[in-house]
Amino acid sequence: MATSPPPNTQEHTTGMIQHRYDRQAAIYDLFETPTELAWRRWRPRLWGRIPPGSRVLEVGVGTGKNIRWHPPEVSITAVDFSPKMLARAVPRSRQHDPPPELALMDAQALGFASESFDVAVATCVFCSVPDPVRGLREVRRVLRPGGQLLLLEHVRSNLPVVGRVMDLCNPVALGLQGANINRNTVETVKRAGFHVLEVEDLFLDIVKLIVAEPSTS
Ligand SMILES: C[S@@+](CC[C@H](N)C(=O)[O-])C[C@H]1O[C@@H](n2cnc3c(N)ncnc32)[C@H](O)[C@@H]1O
């Protein structure tokens, strides 16, 4: 009897999540309108921290919601693994001066030389990256020593009831959108070889601004 080879689990999961973002790309901005009212207050806080002249990597640029806050005096390369999300970022990138360079790329296998960037930024991305430790290790590899990682992420709450509800709802969020709502991204950042410098709670203990740098040890 012919049997099909077992799928490479990592590739299979990555393809599945990528497909979920492709599937929702056309309605993503509309669907996110209510939450964006809060996120648009937080995004500039992250981008305002980038020193002039930096080489910046934006991971998971999506439909390009951050582009309006890209500072003018830095060079930005922005990647995403969903062709349809990335296509939506193109008009936004063309309206910005200077436009970021956009590339279709998986954060778990970045096609850049080591130590190519001064700053790496991601907003609401490591909830979805199938293997977030692998993705963040890649980010660490392409950051120069002393470079900075700036994240805006929603994570699992430590409030007992809230955290439990997030666990229960996670399969629905993952199935519909491709995002996990119960990850501990601060721990993941540490596991990937970063030294966490700052964690600021922006909404309860769920939305966090995380600042880290590659560990030296
Ligand atoms: C929730 S959206 C956030 C988009 C954007 N950063 C924002 O703030 O609106 C998550 C994005 O991360 C991208 N993404 C998830 N995993 C990725 C990976 N492994 N490599 C590249 N992009 C990824 C998705 O395709 C999607 O566009």
3-state SS track over 104-171: ECCHHHCCCCCCCEEEEEEECCCCCCCCHHHHHHHHHHHEEEEEEEEEEEECCCCCHHHHHHHHHHHH
Is there a domain that residue 3 lies in?
Answer: no
Q: Say how far apart CA 76 and CA 45 lie, in whole Å.
A: 17
Q: Could you give phi then psi for residue 182, rounded to 5 degrees?
A: -130, 35
The closest residue, in CA terms, to atom 10 on ligand 1 is 125
Mutation to probe ligand 1, out of 12, 21, 36, 57 (largest number of atoms < 8 A from CB): 21
Is there a domain that residue 78 lies in?
Answer: yes
pLDDT score for 39: 95
Q: Are residues 185 and 137 in contact, defined by beta-carbon separation less than 8 angstroms?
A: no
pLDDT score for 4: 44
pLDDT score for 9: 85
What CATH number should be reported for the domain holding residue 70? 3.40.50.150
The parent domain of residue 157 ranges over 10-214
Q: Are residues 105 and 81 in contact, defined by beta-carbon separation less than 8 angstroms?
A: yes
pLDDT score for 10: 86
Q: Are residues 54 and 25 in contact, defined by beta-carbon separation less than 8 angstroms?
A: no
Q: What is the pTM of this model?
A: 0.95
Domain count, the chain: 1
Question: Mean pLDDT for each 10-residue chunk of the chain (217 residues)?
Answer: 56 94 96 94 96 97 98 96 98 95 98 98 97 98 98 97 97 95 98 98 98 92
Q: Can you read off the two tokens belonging to residue 5?
A: 């080879």
Q: Say how far apart CA 141 and CA 192 lie, in whole Å.
A: 10
Give me ligand 1 centre to Cα 1, in Å: 41
Q: Say how far apart CA 201 and CA 211 lie, in whole Å.
A: 12
Q: Are residues 156 and 186 in contact, defined by beta-carbon separation less than 8 angstroms?
A: no
Is there a domain that residue 193 lies in?
Answer: yes
Is there a domain that residue 2 lies in?
Answer: no
Is there a domain that residue 5 lies in?
Answer: no
Give me ligand 1 centre to Cα 104, in Å: 11
Q: Say how far apart CA 181 and CA 198 lie, in whole Å.
A: 21
**Beta carbon of 177 within 6 Å of any ligand 1 atom:** no
**Beta carbon of 107 within 6 Å of any ligand 1 atom:** yes
